[in-house]
Amino acid sequence: MRFLTWLLTYAAGIAIAALLLDGIWFEGPAHGNAELQEKWLPLLGVALILGLVSTFVEPIIKLISLPFIILTLGLLLLVINAAMLLLTAKLAGAFDLGFHVDGFWNALVGSVVITVIGWGVRIALPDAD
């Protein structure tokens, strides 16, 4: 159950970021029932990739850059999150999922949106403990 919640949280964040930002999008139809039918599986695939990148790659990058994170008072974490979203887009392209992020600034705002959505879902759902 925890995995499903984790996956759907990332999927919701990515979907909302793609909805709000012109620089983040999925290939395919843009409106209607066809959009839902064609994009739900790539959305879950991208959410899985982002979750795996956040679980395995991001902690290593944060550990290596810890002195700079402290020096910038944590602002470097925004850059790291944007880089992880760009990496996710590259990996999604390698798996032909049709997910695109245009540039650093879209990745930065998109990573903030995904983080806020994830935070909101974690607040709204009760703890399993």
pLDDT in tens, 5-32: 889 999 999 999 999 999 999 998 877 7
Checking if the pLDDT of 34 tops 80, the result is: no
Q: At what angle do helices 103-124 and 76-94 cross, to 10 degrees?
A: 100
3-state class of 43 per DSSP? helix
Phi, psi of 26 (to 5 degrees): -110, 145
Q: Report the chain's C-alpha Rg in angstroms.
A: 15
Taking the C-alpha atoms of residue 61 and residue 54, their distance in angstroms, rounded to an integer, is: 10
Mean pLDDT of the chain: 92
Q: What is the average pLDDT across 81-88?
A: 97
**Rounded mean pLDDT of 88-113?**
97
- pTM above threshold 0.75: yes
Average pLDDT over residues 63-81: 96
CA dihedral 2, 99, 57, 127 (to 10 degrees): -20
Report the chain's terminal Cα–Cα distance, integer Å: 13
Residue 46 has pLDDT above 90, yes or no: yes
